[in-house]
Amino acid sequence: MSVLLTHGYFIADDEKEQQIMRPYPPLGLLYISAFLNQQEIENKVFDSTFSDMQSLFEQIRTEKPKILAIYANLMTKLNVLEIAKVCKKLSPNTSVVMGGPDVTYNAENYLKNGADYIVIGEGENTMFELVEHLQKHPEQPPSDIAGLAYLNSGELTKTAPRTKVRDINELPIPNREAIDIQKYLDAWKSHHGQNALSVSTQRGCPYTCKWCSTAVYGQSYRRRSPAKVVEELKEIKERYNPDTIWFVDDVFTVSHKWLREFVGALETEGVKIPFECISRADRMNEEVIGLLKKAGCIRVWIGAESGSQKIIDAMDRRVSVDQVRNMIIETRKQGIEAGTFIMLGYPGETEEDIEETINHLKISNPDHFTITVAYPIKGTSLYDEIETKKTIEPEWHLSTDRDIDFERTYSRKYYDYAVVRVISEVNHHKMKLKGKYGLQFFKLGLKSLYAGTMMKWQQNGKKPLSLNRNSR
């Protein structure tokens, strides 16, 4: 039975992603492909990243696969719906299967918009069993297969939850040979001077941040052995020789014991590839930072989300601003770059909280920081909290959760200006620390002042004066 796997992310259609140009191979699909190969199930991966939708449609029209399996997340949702719709026209007998973080709490919507089956949670075993079922009993509903959702006489049917793979060492490493990895390496190299590939060492996250989705792997912690991870790194280095590795794990240093063993395994096998990872301040200390340095870590992203303890507590982050600040400083002190994430517009956030965030970033002085405006993802505690406070909720099939807005302390536009204010003010401060008082320094100062002024206008509910001369 032929299975075609794809993911609906087309970098050529996204100007912002083209500017960033940090694409990574679709690891989830490559894990599914490797598992199906292990079970001797014929499959192909259509890697949409550097392709286009028409090429995918042509492959579907020509090959008419028995199963089209599509990975769906917030970024790819609308493309995924379009792919499913067109697939039904080009190849009516193809069964459309969807999985990924966006389908778990939107199963019925996806099923009513082109999907025949929804894989809920981890996909390897569910996908294999579904393929076997469709091969042997295509006319019968797959009611005995755990981890599925489908429509039965128009009604949503969910089977028993899929038990998570307890020992993920048993899973094969991703089938990177199924796609053209060199395209990723070349894209990185041409835009950044060095390239990167992604690796996963764990599944699940034991923490309870209210805005974070755990739709696929759940609130668990399962990890491959250090030896298995190093084995994969050796293979990657021999086949592709990337300049750096990006560990996609939610909290790379969650287990200090695992990290020590990982460092030992790297030394034993003589493997050292520069890498970056994500962590939490409460799972770091001087020793851990030293171990990361020894392992080859060049950059660690330490979650902060806010410089206000009030907002951090509202998020259920279970960490203190001081912890985050101290670990950013200590990380840089030991020669590793530190990055951090900031979220603005969380329920209850005020101007004072935003100023505390600016102050936090100035004091901790991370090498990198990214900012997003909070949005509710279905299935999270944040979504449940704001569900009765939504102010904008477009039609489901024409939007994503990012388009939902809710009652905030100030208007949504206020937080757009707040993003500009934080970025400009913090970068202005960084230039001041370095003694760089050129034109860019003064431009950043003016941008910060302007954004702060516009925040005041929005806060007071006043219409700002037009800067267009023709408006007089």
Topology of 3-158 in CATH?
A: Rossmann fold (3.40.50)
Using the predicted structure, report yes or no on whether residue 130 has a pLDDT greater than 50. yes
For 1, 347, 361, 457, the CA distances from 454, given in Å and listed in that order, are 59, 20, 21, 5
Find, among 333, 348, 210, 330, the residue nearest to 279 by Cα: 330
Confidence at residue 459, expressed as pLDDT on a 0 to 100 scale:
86
Confidence at residue 432, expressed as pLDDT on a 0 to 100 scale:
96
Confidence at residue 329, expressed as pLDDT on a 0 to 100 scale:
98
User: Using H for helix, E for strand and C for coil, what is the string for 97-129?
Assistant: EEECCCCHHHHHHHHCCCCCEEECCCCHHHHHH
Confidence at residue 218, expressed as pLDDT on a 0 to 100 scale:
85
Distance separating alpha carbons of residues 179 and 273, to the nearest angstrom:
22
For 40, 146, 412, 451, 454, the CA distances from 465, given in Å and listed in that order, are 67, 59, 19, 14, 10
Q: Do domains 3-158 and 194-374 have the same CATH topology?
A: no
The percent of the chain in helix, strand and coil, each rounded to the nearest 5, is 45, 15, 40
By mean pLDDT, which of 126-135, 215-224, 459-468 is the weakest?
A: 459-468
Q: Is the dihedral of CA 247, 251, 253, 258 positive or negative?
A: negative
CATH class of 194-374: alpha beta
Encoding tokens for residue 213? 């989705």
pLDDT tens-digit series, residues 321-340: 999 999 999 999 999 999 99
pLDDT tens-digit series, residues 184-205: 999 999 999 999 999 999 999 9
Average pLDDT, the chain: 95
Cβ proximity of 107 and 135 under 8 Å: no
Cβ proximity of 373 and 397 under 8 Å: no
When pLDDT is cut at 50, 70 and 90, the band that residue 471 belongs to is very low
Confidence at residue 469, expressed as pLDDT on a 0 to 100 scale:
36
pLDDT tens-digit series, residues 12-58: 998 989 999 999 999 999 999 999 999 999 999 999 999 999 999 99
Over residues 57-67, the mean pLDDT reads 97
Using the predicted structure, report yes or no on whether residue 463 has a pLDDT greater than 90. no
CA geometry: angle 186, 192, 195, nearest 5 deg? 45
Find, among 84, 129, 120, 75, the residue nearest to 99 by Cα: 120
Over residues 95-120, the mean pLDDT reads 97
When pLDDT is cut at 50, 70 and 90, the band that residue 304 belongs to is confident
Encoding tokens for residue 100? 């990924």
Q: Is the dihedral of CA 411, 413, 419, 421 positive or negative?
A: negative
Confidence at residue 468, expressed as pLDDT on a 0 to 100 scale:
41
When pLDDT is cut at 50, 70 and 90, the band that residue 117 belongs to is very high
CA atoms within 13 A on the CB side of 207: 20
Q: Distance from first CA to last CA of the chain, Å, rounded?
A: 69
Q: Write down the domain spans for the chain.
A: 3-158, 194-374, 410-472
